[in-house]
């Protein structure tokens, strides 16, 4: 084989292995000499696809390839985004700046033209629809208006016309196009707050629509809606107006639907479980977060990364109602507030009605904020029989002593950081971590902040509303 033939073969192979490139071309004179970026979505993350410096006449050209297909945005130096679709087509734009969407014309690119058309019209339809539904309710329920049959009929006709117009637009989209999937999904997410406030009769169907979404779908992964879909789904359940026990039942059903497909994709399972678990914890929806933890841990067909596994195992081993392990205090370790010969040897030596165990460290910025707040509440808590025990995960004696300083409550450190026996026994995976125990070390609450502890103490101990351990999840 001669050199010319070999070169021809190599060039042929290279040509057929280079991904097809498409372009975003723009003319924006106001952005002359600025750097513009094309940014894509991958699950919860973003990444830069291409960048270019805008020419003196305001023109630029950005490239993307098939792996980038989905939603993206353009941003200049002010970082204000202009969203667009990356599809197997070239797009030509003309305008002033990305932040002034009304100035932008889409001269080429069918999917982006359709996206822009719907993004402009749909919010107007939704606003009008909410107004007509409000009037329908008034004309249906109020005797002053319910007799007006022609008005009632006209209202219903307009509601049906708006819905039909919206549905017709979506149904005529090419089913192979990205926006034929994206626009209904975006519509679902954006409708949540309006439905909760003005159209509660649509809540069950909307929750069902969220449950049908496949979170392993690559279109969702590239949509920029990954976080919004989860947030909106569980926010709507939480704000559905149902009693708390039914809210938790609905959340568990949604978790079951979510996991059905996720167990087939370990990467997405880890990402979504980690995000949803933290979301439920932040909203104090502990029954749902515990259910999620046990559901995933009991699924033997999937592999969890070690940090997530430890986080979820904490819920199986340290859930509300279980007895927390005793904590052994080494005799030779510094414990502020106690002479060496009088320091307790273990947590069970302390005789209090309640204990708040706090795992924290000097190297944790959030810990410093929470511990400072904790010190402010301590005197009032002490009167209610609550003792605070801080377990520091520092590995340096000077840093530890400087951290606890003159704190008014008990603190202890064995300088083993994450290998501290107490941290391992309590399955601590992050700082700060809190455990509220009774005198028998039964876990009453897994708070996520000092403010939540204060709310619990105020509700149960100060106001005496319920027996501790039987209260609400909030």
* CA separation for the pair 148, 395 (Å, rounded): 77
pLDDT in tens, 249-269: 999 999 999 999 898 888 899
Calculate Rg over the CA atoms of the chain: 29
Rounded-to-5 percentages of helix, strand, coil across the chain: 50, 15, 30
Question: Are residues 40 and 103 located together in one domain of the fold?
Answer: yes
In a domain, 336, yes or no: no
Residues 196 and 304 in one domain: yes
Residues 192 and 284 in one domain: yes
Give Cα 190 distance to the centre of its chain: 16
Residue 160 located in a structural domain: no
Does residue 149 lie within any of the structural domains?
no
**Domain's final residue, options 108, 138, 159:** 108
Q: What angle do CA 266, 268, 269 make, to 5 degrees?
A: 60
Question: How many domains does the chain fold into?
Answer: 3
> What distance in Å separates the CA atoms of residue 267 and residue 44, rounded to the nearest whole number?
12
pLDDT tens by residue, 122-137: 888 888 888 888 888 8
Say if 78 falls within a structural domain: yes
Q: Are residues 365 and 235 in the same domain?
A: no
Residue 472 lies in a domain: no
The answer on 288 and 368 residing in a single domain is no
SS3 153: helix
Check whether residue 84 and residue 195 sit in a common domain. Answer: no
Tell me the C-alpha distance between 284 and 250, whole Å.
Answer: 16
279 is a domain residue: yes
For the sheet with 410-412, list strands across it. Answer: 410-412, 386-392, 354-360, 433-438, 443-445
Question: In Å, how far are 118, 127, 159, 239, 428 from 131, measured between CA atoms?
Answer: 20, 6, 10, 21, 50
Helices and strands counted in the chain (H then E) = 17, 13
Let me know if residue 11 belongs to a domain: no
Give the phi and the psi of residue 80 in degrees, each rounded to 5.
Answer: -85, 125
**CATH no. for residue 32?**
2.60.40.3330
Burial class (CB in 10 A: 0-12, 13-18, 19+), 239: middle
Same domain, 374 and 303: no
Q: Per residue of the chain (474 residues), what is the pLDDT tens digit? A: 566 566 555 555 555 555 679 999 999 999 999 999 999 999 999 999 999 999 999 999 999 999 999 999 999 999 999 999 999 999 999 999 998 888 999 999 999 999 999 988 888 888 888 888 888 888 888 888 888 889 889 999 999 999 899 899 999 999 999 999 999 999 999 999 989 988 899 999 999 999 999 999 999 999 999 999 999 999 999 999 999 999 999 999 999 999 998 988 888 998 999 899 889 988 878 788 888 988 888 775 566 676 777 777 777 788 888 999 999 998 777 777 676 667 889 999 999 999 999 999 999 999 999 999 999 999 999 999 999 999 999 999 999 999 998 899 999 999 999 999 999 999 888 899 999 999 999 999 988 889 999 999 998 998 877 666 554 444
CATH code, 436: 3.40.30.10
Query: Does 387 fall in a domain?
Result: yes
- Measured CA to CA in angstroms, residue 197 lies from 123, 202, 362, 438 at distances of 16, 11, 44, 40
* 69 plus 30 within the same structural domain: yes
Do 262 and 213 share a domain, yes or no? yes
Report the distance separating Cα 239 and Cα 306, nearest Å.
33
Rounded Cα gap, residues 35 and 56, in angstroms: 12
Provide the domain limits for residue 365. Answer: 347-462
């Amino acid at each position: 084989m001669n050199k010319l033939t070999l070169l021809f073969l190599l060039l042929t192979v290279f040509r057929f292995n280079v991904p097809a490139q498409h372009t975003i071309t723009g003319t924006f004179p106001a952005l002359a000499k600025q750097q513009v970026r094309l940014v894509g979505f991958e699950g919860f993350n973003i990444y830069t696809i291409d960048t270019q410096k805008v020419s003196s006449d305001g023109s630029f050209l950005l490239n993307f390839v098939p792996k980038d297909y989905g939603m993206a945005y353009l941003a200049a130096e002010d970082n204000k985004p202009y969203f667009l679709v990356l599809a197997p087509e070239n797009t030509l734009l003309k305008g002033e700046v990305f932040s002034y969407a009304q100035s932008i014309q889409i001269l080429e690119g069918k999917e982006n033209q359709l996206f822009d058309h719907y993004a402009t019209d749909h919010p107007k339809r939704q606003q009008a629809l909410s107004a007509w539904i409000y009037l329908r309710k008034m004309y249906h329920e109020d005797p002053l208006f319910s007799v007006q049959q022609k008005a009632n009929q006209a209202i219903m006709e307009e509601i049906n016309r708006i819905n039909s117009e919206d549905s017709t637009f979506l149904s005529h989209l090419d089913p192979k196009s990205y926006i034929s999937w994206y626009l209904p999904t975006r519509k679902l997410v954006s409708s949540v707050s309006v439905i909760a406030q003005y159209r509660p009769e649509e809540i069950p169907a909307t929750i069902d629509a969220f449950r049908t979404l496949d979170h392993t779908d690559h279109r969702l992964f590239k949509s920029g809606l990954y976080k919004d879909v989860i947030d909106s789904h569980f926010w709507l359940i939480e704000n559905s107006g149902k009693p708390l026990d039914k809210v938790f039942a609905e959340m568990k059903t949604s978790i079951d639907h979510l996991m059905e497909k996720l167990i087939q994709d370990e990467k997405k399972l880890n990402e979504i479980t980690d995000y949803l678990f933290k979301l439920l914890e932040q909203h104090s929806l502990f029954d749902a977060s515990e259910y999620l933890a046990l559901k995933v841990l009991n699924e033997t067909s999937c592999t969890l990364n070690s940090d997530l596994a430890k986080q979820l195992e904490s819920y199986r081993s340290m859930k509300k109602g279980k007895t927390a392990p005793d904590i052994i205090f080494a005799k030779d370790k510094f414990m502020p507030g106690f002479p060496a010969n009088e320091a307790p040897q273990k947590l069970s030596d302390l005789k209090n009605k309640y204990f708040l165990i706090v795992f924290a460290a000097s190297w944790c910025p959030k810990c410093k904020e929470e511990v400072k707040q904790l010190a402010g509440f301590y005197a009032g808590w002490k009167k209610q029989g609550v003792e605070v025990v801080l377990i520091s995960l520092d590995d340096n004696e000077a840093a530890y002593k400087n951290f606890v300083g003159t704190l008014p409550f008990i603190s202890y450190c064995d300088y083993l950081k994450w290998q501290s026996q107490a941290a391992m026994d309590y399955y601590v995976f992050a700082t700060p971590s809190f455990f509220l125990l009774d005198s028998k070390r039964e876990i009453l609450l897994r708070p996520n902040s000092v403010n939540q502890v204060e709310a619990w103490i105020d509700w149960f101990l100060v106001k005496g509303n319920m027996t501790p351990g039987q209260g609400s999840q909030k």
